[in-house]
Amino acid sequence: MKYFCKDCSYQGTTVGSQGQCPGCGSFNLVRAGHSEEKEEPARWRLVLLAALWGYLGILILWKLLT
Q: Give the integer Cα–Cα distance in Å for 15 and 26.
A: 10
- The answer to whether 13 and 4 have CB atoms below 8 angstroms apart is no
How does pLDDT run along the chain (66 residues), one tens digit per residue? 788 888 998 888 888 888 888 889 888 888 876 555 667 778 999 999 999 999 999 999 999 998
Burial label for 22, CB within 10 Å (0-12, 13-18, 19+), is middle
